[in-house]
Structure 1
Amino acid sequence: MTKSVPPRRLSEDALSDLLARQRFGTLASVRRSGHPHLTTMLYGWDAPARTLRFSSTDDRAKVAHLRANPHASLHVQGEDVWSFAVAEGEAEVSAPTTVPGDAVGRELLAMFPPDLRPADENAFFAQLVAERRVVVRLRVTRLYGTALDIEG
Structure 2
Amino acid sequence: MTQGPAPRPLSDAAVSDLLAKQRFGTLATVKQSGHPHLTTMLYTWDPETRVVRLSTTADRVKAKHLRRDLRAALHVQGGDVWSFAVAEGSAEVSEVTTVPGDAVGRELLAMIPPAARPENEHAFLAQQVAERRLVIRLHAERLYGTALDING
Secondary structure in 1 aligned to 2:119? coil
- Code of the residue aligned with 1:55 in structure 2: it is S
Equivalent residues in 2 for 1:119-130, closer than 5 Å: 119-130=119-130
Question: Cα distance, 1:71 vs. partner?
Answer: 0.1
Partners of 1:65 and 1:83 lie apart in 2 by 28
The corresponding residue for 2:115 is: 115
The corresponding residue for 2:90 is: 90
Secondary structure in 2 aligned to 1:145? strand
Secondary structure in 2 aligned to 1:13? helix
Q: Structure 2: which 5+ residue stretches go unaligned?
A: none
The corresponding residue for 1:99 is: 99
Identity within the alignment, %: 69
- Code of the residue aligned with 2:74 in structure 1: it is L
Secondary structure in 1 aligned to 2:59? coil
- Code of the residue aligned with 2:42 in structure 1: it is L
Partners of 2:3 and 2:50 lie apart in 1 by 38
The corresponding residue for 2:18 is: 18
Q: Structure 1: which 5+ residue stretches go unaligned?
A: none
| CA displacement, residues 22-58 of structure 1 (integer Å, 9 cap, x when unaligned) | 0000000000000000000000000000000000000
Question: Cα distance, 1:4 vs. partner?
Answer: 2.2
Partners of 1:83 and 1:122 lie apart in 2 by 40
Partners of 1:95 and 1:11 lie apart in 2 by 34
| CA displacement, residues 44-79 of structure 1 (integer Å, 9 cap, x when unaligned) | 000000000000000000000000000000000000
- Code of the residue aligned with 1:42 in structure 2: it is L
TM-score (norm 2): 0.98
Partners of 2:47 and 2:131 lie apart in 1 by 28
Question: Cα distance, 1:150 vs. partner?
Answer: 1.2
Secondary structure in 2 aligned to 1:72? strand
| CA displacement, residues 1-25 of structure 1 (integer Å, 9 cap, x when unaligned) | 4442111111111100000000000
Question: Cα distance, 1:137 vs. partner?
Answer: 0.1
Q: Is 1:133 aligned to residue 130 of structure 2? A: no
Q: Is 1:40 aligned to residue 40 of structure 2? A: yes
Secondary structure in 1 aligned to 2:44? strand
Partners of 1:29 and 1:136 lie apart in 2 by 11
TM-score (norm 1): 0.98
Partners of 2:12 and 2:140 lie apart in 1 by 12
4+ residue runs over 4 A deviation: none
Secondary structure in 2 aligned to 1:97? coil
Superposition CA RMSD, Å: 0.7
Partners of 2:54 and 2:6 lie apart in 1 by 33
